[in-house]
Structures are given as structure tokens and as C-alpha cells.
């Protein structure tokens, strides 16, 4: 089974799961505290950085201001967690856009595999899920401190001479506020026999509460 078929199958299954989940989860409330979101004790300022978007455009700290950014770290050759998370985020994207928020809510995918993930490949990959999603790349000397600044990590534990090498990376979805500060993360759910990914329905339920407190 080639990668395109695999990604397509994962996206379809995630779409079905999202529809079923939406039927059983109550509409989000803006009262109380987020149930799932892990809020950091203090917002983290993001150090200056410069990456390249899937459109070949410069993306830096100023690009994060004036919007909410749900950021996920991964790579396009990822066989499971990345396409599943991207599909789940796409499932809830229309509802995120419908939330009562002054600032827009964006999805940002940061590739930590610059050797294989060219701008052109990222453009094709991200548009497969949603053409409004943003994909970023850059050199490791820029990517590593940026990812660490977000409170996440990645590592390539095997030789990149192997065309099918894997990249270990965090599976959380980090939230950056409109002032370009990291305020917390949606940690992946860990259940035996299931992929450890962030729960998209919980993201959808918690976002109105988070926005209302800013």
C-alpha cells in the first residue's frame, strides 16, 4: 500500500470517527476551566525565529501575532500519528472557525524533516487535508530551538541514508495565543492498542473556554 493510499485511508477513518464523536459530545461551554488543555503556569514568549512556509514565504514571530495557532510537529513521511492528527484537526476546523473569537484560529504544521520535506512536498501534503492549513520547514539549526521553545522535541535516531528513516517527535498540539506566546498544550491520549494523539473533540470543547479567558 503506497503512502498516498495510506494517508487517504487514515483521513477517511478519522473523518468517520469525528462525525460519530460530534454526535455524542455536548456543545462546548465557555464557563469554568478547560477540561483537557494543560495550561502552562506562565505564558512562554517565543524567541525570534525564521522559517519558510509551504508557499515559500518567510514565517517568523510576527506571523503568529493576531491569531490563535494550534501547532503540531511532525513530518510528511510519518505513517500514522501525523496524518491522523491532521485529519482530526481538519474535522473540527469548520467549527473552530465558527467560534466567537475576535482573532482567527489557524492550524500550523511544523515539519522536522527538512531533508525530505521540501516546500513543494509540504504544499502538496498540507493541501490534502486543508488548503487553509499552514506548513513550515527550515534547517535543523532553526527548527530545533523553535520546537524546544514550544515545549516539544524531535529526534532522528537512525541514519538518514535509509530513505525510510523515522523521526521521533512530540504528539501534543501546542496553543499559541494572539500575542505569540505559548500558553499550553493538548496532550495526546494514551490508551492501550490506540494511537496516542490529541483528542480533537476535546480541543473543540476547550477552545471557547480558553478564548473567553484571554
Alpha-carbon torsion, ordered 194, 200, 201, 206, to 10 deg: 130
Q: 119 — phi, psi (to 5°)? A: -60, -40
Let me know: does 34 contact 210? Beta carbons within 8 Å. yes
Residue 74 pairs in a beta bridge with 111
Hey, what's the cell of 203? 480541543
Site of grid cell 480541543: 203
Flag whether 140 is marked binding: no
56 SS3 class: coil
Flag whether 169 is marked binding: yes
DSSP conformation class of 66: T
Flag whether 54 is marked binding: no
Let me know: does 101 contact 211? Beta carbons within 8 Å. yes
Alpha helices in the chain (DSSP H): 3-24, 81-97, 119-129, 140-149, 200-212
Please state, as a whole number, how many other Cβ atoms lie within 10 Å of the Cβ of residue 41.
6
Let me know: does 38 contact 171? Beta carbons within 8 Å. no
Annotated binding site: 78, 82, 169
Annotated binding site for Cu cation: 78, 82, 169
Amino acid at each position: 500500500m503506497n503512502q498516498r493510499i495510506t494517508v487517504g485511508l487514515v483521513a477517511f477513518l478519522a473523518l468517520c470517527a469525528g462525525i460519530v464523536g460530534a454526535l455524542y459530545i455536548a456543545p462546548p461551554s465557555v464557563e469554568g476551566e478547560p477540561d483537557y488543555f494543560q495550561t502552562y503556569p506562565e505564558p512562554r514568549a517565543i524567541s525570534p525565529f525564521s522559517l519558510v512556509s509551504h508557499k515559500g514565504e518567510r514565517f517568523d514571530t510576527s506571523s503568529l501575532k493576531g491569531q490563535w495557532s494550534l501547532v503540531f510537529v511532525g513530518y510528511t513521511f510519518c505513517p500514522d500519528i501525523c496524518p491522523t492528527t491532521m485529519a482530526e484537526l481538519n474535522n473540527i476546523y469548520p467549527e473552530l472557525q465558527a467560534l466567537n473569537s475576535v482573532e482567527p484560529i489557524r492550524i500550523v504544521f511544523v515539519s522536522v524533516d527538512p531533508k525530505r520535506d521540501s516546500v513543494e512536498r509540504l504544499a502538496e501534503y498540507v493541501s490534502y487535508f486543508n488548503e487553509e492549513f499552514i506548513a513550515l520547514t527550515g534547517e535543523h539549526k532553526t527548527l530545533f530551538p523553535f520546537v524546544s521553545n514550544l515545549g516539544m522535541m524531535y529526534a532522528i535516531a537512525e541514519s538518514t541514508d535509509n530513505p525510510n528513516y523515522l523521526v521521533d517527535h512530540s504528539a501534543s498540539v501546542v496553543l499559541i495565543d494572539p500575542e505569540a506566546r505559548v500558553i499550553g498544550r493538548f496532550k495526546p491520549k494514551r490508551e492501550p492498542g490506540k494511537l496516542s494523539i490529541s483528542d480533537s473533540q476535546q480541543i473543540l470543547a476547550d477552545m471557547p473556554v480558553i478564548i473567553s479567558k484571554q
